[in-house]
């Protein structure tokens, strides 16, 4: 039995812990914050490939219970034209479709399931350093405590401490010139089918809304920002000032965006978008990084959580089937790197269509209308949706 120290209690870390537990190992999960994630974060759509990867761990229904079905997306322009509607990744054999879920609800569901399975979770454990020998690793925390195990897994996100421990020369995240914000509108009676993501390439901003099963309207917007904002600039763009800017950006669009923004009690403070085109070093000795720590992707790919889930399940298989820890980590990277870097590139391409000037918008809208005027011969995103991990198939080093 391998004792794995997992740094980070988000989606990637918690599912990794469950996968390793399922594989017969002993995971110890450490979260830097002194509480769980109730009320933290916006919402996300979990694609069918991520849900498919959860099936052998007995987690698919756990996750589905936290959100609602999002079987399709609708694409439109700011002039009110609806161009097309198509499946959001297709349907699994059992009828499962993509899910939209509050990030905090997803965390809570996974946390409770990990606890039910007897997995140790420590809160208030902020990693400050780690070391390793040929046989063991040690993690040191800011409160003076430490933990020892057979390997250390960094599931600690975009600003990963484990990544810099493994490779002090690791690159910084790349700023994608978009901000993210959103919220939940109440009291509206929109004609949209619940669960369908309505995406609009507006004249000044990309805007998406979806009617949830309880009638609220969940939405997000991606205001363009050419230069990376400072913390002070982001703090100044909040509350009613952010609402006013968003209303200005959607004012020329013939969509329900204006009434949605006005009907939102609290708008999420804006945060910048980042990705990693490539992270050269994923593992060293008995330490490895997964999820956003290794390959953060723009939300425009719709694959961040699913990539983390695929990582977790693949790593669990490798550590189950490859007896030597270092060889298992090498095998894990060989199975994941090409795929996740292709997803990051797709996310960057999708995001680039949202960052555009007035002249470029006219050209963009022309090509978008042309692209959606006829059925796809082949969905360019099919490689993302159709990926399947066979948990029962043995991994060879």
Residue 393 counted as domain residue: no
pLDDT at 178: 92
Question: What pLDDT is stored for residue 55 in this prediction?
Answer: 93
Say what percent of the chain tops pLDDT 70.
90
Residue 296 and residue 167 share a domain = yes
**390 lies in a domain?**
no
- Residue 156 in any domain: the answer is yes
Q: How many CB atoms lie within 10 A of CB 239?
A: 11
**For residue 95, is it within any domain?**
no
- Over residues 77-85, the mean pLDDT reads 89
Tell me the β-bridge partners of 122: 30
126 plus 31 within the same structural domain: yes
Same domain, 265 and 199: yes
3-state secondary structure 171-183: CCCEEEEEEEEEE
Q: Which residues are paired to 100 by β-bridges?
A: 45, 68
Using 50, 70 and 90 to split pLDDT, how confident is the model at 278?
very high
Residues 213 and 114 placed together within one structural domain of the fold: no
> Is 391 part of a structural domain of the chain?
no
Residue 210: φ, ψ to 5°: -145, 135
pLDDT at 90 over 90: no
- How many structural domains are present in the chain? 2
What pLDDT sits at residue 362? 54
pLDDT given for residue 361 in this prediction: 57
**136, 258: one domain:** no
Q: What is the pLDDT of residue 369?
A: 59
Q: Pick the last residue of a domain from 274, 297, 324.
A: 274
* Nearest Cα residue to 66 out of 176, 207, 213, 184: 213
The pLDDT value given to residue 33: 83
Whether 304 and 319 map to the same domain: the answer is yes
With respect to residue 53, please indicate whether it lies within any of the assigned structural domains.
no
| Nearest alpha-carbon partner for 58 in 102, 109, 99, 7 | 109
| Residue recorded with tokens 């350093």 | 129
What's the pTM?
0.91
Order the strands of the 82-87 sheet from edge to edge: 82-87, 72-77, 197-201, 206-211, 217-222, 174-185, 271-275
Whether residues 142 and 15 fall in one domain: yes
Please indicate, yes or no, whether residues 255 and 323 belong to a single structural domain of this protein: no
pLDDT of 366 above 60 = no
Q: What is the CATH number of the domain that holds 138?
A: 3.50.50.60
Q: Which domain holds residue 201?
A: 174-274
3-state helix, strand, coil in the chain (%, to 5): 35, 25, 40
pLDDT at 202: 94
Q: Which of 233, 250, 274 is the last residue of a domain?
A: 274
Same domain, 121 and 137: yes
The domain spanning residue 213 has which CATH number? Answer: 3.30.9.30
pLDDT of residue 88: 87
Residue 146's contacts (CB-CB under 8 Å, 6 or more residues apart) are: 138, 139, 140
**Is pLDDT of 360 > 60?**
no
Strands (E), the chain: 3-7, 26-31, 43-46, 68-69, 72-77, 82-87, 99-102, 120-123, 127-132, 137-141, 146-149, 151-154, 174-185, 197-201, 206-211, 217-222, 271-275, 283-284, 287-289
Question: Quick check: 234 pLDDT over 60?
Answer: yes
In a domain, 308, yes or no: yes
| pLDDT tens-place string over residues 116-168 | 999 999 999 999 999 999 999 999 999 999 999 999 999 999 999 999 999 99
CB 25 within 8 A of CB 32: no
Q: Are residues 156 and 236 in the same domain?
A: no
115 and 180 in a single domain? The answer is no
Distance (Å, rounded) from C-alpha 253 to C-alpha 218? 18
Comparing CA positions, the residue from 117, 229, 129 lying closest to residue 175 is 229
Phi-psi region of 108 (alpha: psi -120 to 50; beta: other; left: phi over 0): alpha
The pLDDT of 288-317, averaged and rounded, is 92
Residue 75 lies in a domain: no
Among 225, 257, 274, give the residue marking a domain's end: 274
- The mean of the pLDDT values for the chain is 90
Same structural domain for residues 151 and 286?
yes
């Amino acid at each position: 039995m391998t004792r794995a120290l997992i740094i980070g209690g988000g989606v990637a870390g918690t599912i990794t812990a469950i996968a390793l537990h399922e594989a017969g190992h002993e995971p110890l999960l450490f979260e830097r914050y002194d509480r769980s994630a109730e009320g933290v974060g916006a919402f996300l759509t979990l694609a069918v490939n991520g849900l498919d990867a959860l099936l052998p761990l007995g987690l698919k229904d756990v996750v589905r219970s936290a959100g609602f079905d999002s079987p399709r997306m609708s694409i439109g322009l700011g002039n009110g034209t609806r161009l097309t509607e198509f499946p959001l990744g297709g349907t699994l054999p059992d009828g499962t479709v993509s899910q939209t879920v509050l990030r905090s609800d997803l965390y809570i569901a996974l946390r409770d399931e990990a606890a039910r399975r007897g997995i140790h979770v420590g809160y208030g454990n902020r990693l400050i350093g780690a070391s390793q020998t040929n046989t063991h690793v040690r993690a040191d925390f800011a409160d003076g405590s430490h933990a020892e195990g057979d390997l250390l897994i960094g599931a600690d996100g975009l600003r990963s401490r484990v990544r810099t421990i493994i490779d002090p020369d690791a690159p910084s995240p790349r700023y994608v010139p978009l901000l993210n914000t959103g919220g939940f509108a109440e009291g509206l009676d929109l004609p949209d089918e619940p669960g369908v993501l309505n995406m609009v390439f507006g004249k000044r901003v990309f805007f998406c809304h979806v009617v949830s099963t309880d009638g609220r309207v969940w939405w997000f917007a991606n205001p363009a920002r050419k230069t990376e904002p400072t913390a002070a600039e982001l703090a100044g763009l909040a509350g009613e000032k952010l609402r006013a800017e968003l209303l200005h950006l959607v004012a020329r669009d013939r969509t329900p965006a204006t009434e949605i923004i006005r009907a939102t009690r609290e708008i999420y403070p804006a945060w910048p978008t980042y990705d990693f085109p490539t992270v050269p070093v994923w593992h060293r000795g008995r330490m490895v990084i997964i999820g956003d720590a290794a390959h953060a992707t723009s939300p425009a790919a719709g694959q961040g959580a699913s990539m983390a889930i695929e990582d977790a399940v693949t790593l669990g298989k490798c550590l189950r089937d490859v007896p030597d820890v270092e060889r298992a980590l090498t095998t894990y990277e060989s199975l994941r790197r090409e795929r996740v870097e292709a997803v990051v590139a797709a996310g960057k391409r999708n995001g680039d269509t949202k960052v555009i000037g007035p002249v470029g918008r006219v050209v963009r809208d022309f090509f978008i209308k042309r692209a959606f005027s006829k059925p796809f011969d082949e969905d360019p995103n099919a490689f993302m949706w159709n990926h399947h991990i066979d948990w029962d198939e043995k991994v060879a080093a």
